[in-house]
Amino acid sequence: MPKKTVCSFSLTLTPTLGGYLKKKLRGYDVRISTDPIDINTIDPQTEILGTFVDSKIDAAIIAKLKKLKLIVTLSTGFDHIDLQAVKKRGIPVCNVPDYGQHTVAEFALALMLALSRKIFWGVKRVKEGSYDYHGLRGFDLKGKTVGVYGAGRIGVHFIDLLAGFGTRVIGYDAFPHKELQDKHGFTYVSMNTLLAESDIISLHAPLLPSTYHVIDKKAIKKMKPGVHIINTARGGLIDSEALVWGLEEGIVAGAGLDVLEGEDLLEDRTKMLYSTLPPKLMKTVLMNEALIAHPRTIVTPHSAFNTHEAVTRILDTTIENVTAFTAGTVQHDVTQPAHK
Ligand code: NAD
């Protein structure tokens, strides 16, 4: 019997779906861990490595895996993998480019409604024993202006979801495609107009040097008093200190945040208290704590992508990435020029 290809998967994203993965990759020697990949425990016989964004695949791990011929990541992002090190060995890195923009758009909408109707605080109150609506008055979305920063795949899905609410939708994008306006019923405006006219601003641009802290104190000062901010994109788009300031000043009435800058530091908050962090990072941590504790924010743990359907799609594309590679076709390889 020919030797089966050794595939080592870190299945932190979906630990319960190990059986599904093994069934779909029956012809392979699939080894599953529910922990992030660790240089001390990874099997040196690994030929195909399956990883997620919480494992740092650095040059040392790649050097240890002498038989490695493919990396598959169960994510769209691949900045957790040392691409220079893999390229030197000619190892492809296959990602999941597209698993459900509507999944994230639906979550942004959920955060928006949770804020506008104070759902979280209402639920909390009832569970704590008080059945009283006073102080829970929200606002209608109908007639409000929603500003979408980054009208790409998720942004446009979010705009489509707004169609039934009777809102006016304006958008800002660094690379506008005029034809999208008529198709999806929104208007491109300048960044200053978006900041000044939006009752709700929803962020859907990637984190780039050009988008880092795009929502800073200067931007917040230009916003309509009473604005609500939704962020399901990346934490680094918002300067947390400026947002805390905006909330305290009463300019920002509420924020729904699925992502926070430096959110990885929040995973083990007790450990963090005893570690020594550079002052800038410590400040980010403190501002995150202020945002989490703030009475007018809703913070969720980067879970906008997390539906049964999206996770299954991520797993299915990953399985296809493995089987296509074995059949001689490399798909979704981010080491190739189109991804630079
Ligand atoms: P996309 O590339 O389709 O769209 C991004 C849009 O942002 C594009 O239209 C682009 O032109 C625009 N853009 C780029 N630079 C800009 C700038 N400087 N100013 C304004 N607009 C700019 O990406 P997408 O699939 O819509 O995803 C958007 C982001 O959502 C991702 O980059 C990712 O960070 C985030 N995301 C979050 C989750 C989650 O679970 N919270 C899941 C998936 C994606």
Q: Which are the contacts of 74, defined by CB distance < 8 A and separation ≥ 6?
A: 11, 13, 14, 50, 51, 52, 96, 314, 315, 318
- The domain limits of the chain are 6-99+308-339, 101-299
pLDDT at position 127 is: 98
**153 CA distance to ligand 1 centroid (A)?**
7
Residue 241 catalytic? Answer: no
**24 CA distance to ligand 1 centroid (A)?**
31
Which residue's CA is minimally distant from atom 44 of ligand 1?
Answer: 233
* CA-based max dimension of the chain: 72
Distance CA 300, CA 306 (A): 11
Pairing assessment for the beta strands 200-203 and 70-73 based on DSSP bridges: unpaired
Binned average pLDDT, 10 residues per bin, the chain of 340 residues: 90 91 96 95 97 93 98 88 95 92 96 98 98 97 98 96 98 97 98 98 94 98 98 95 98 97 79 74 90 97 93 96 98 80
Tell me if 175 CB under 6 Å of ligand 1.
yes
Tell me if 211 CB under 6 Å of ligand 1.
yes
**Shortest-distance atom of ligand 1 to CA 210:** 18
Tell me if 157 CB under 6 Å of ligand 1.
no
The one catalytic residue in 47, 241, 261, 263 is 263
Same fold, 6-99+308-339 and 101-299: yes
The structural architecture, per CATH, of the domain 6-99+308-339 is 3-Layer(aba) Sandwich (3.40)
Give me the helix-helix angle, 101-116 and 119-127, nearest 10°: 70
pTM over 0.85: yes
Tell me if 274 CB under 6 Å of ligand 1.
no
Tell me if 300 CB under 6 Å of ligand 1.
no
Indicate the fold that domain 101-299 takes in CATH: Rossmann fold (3.40.50)
pLDDT at position 166 is: 98
Which residue's CA is minimally distant from atom 11 of ligand 1?
Answer: 175
**260 CA distance to ligand 1 centroid (A)?**
15
Residue 296 catalytic? Answer: no
pLDDT at position 340 is: 43
Tell me if 209 CB under 6 Å of ligand 1.
no
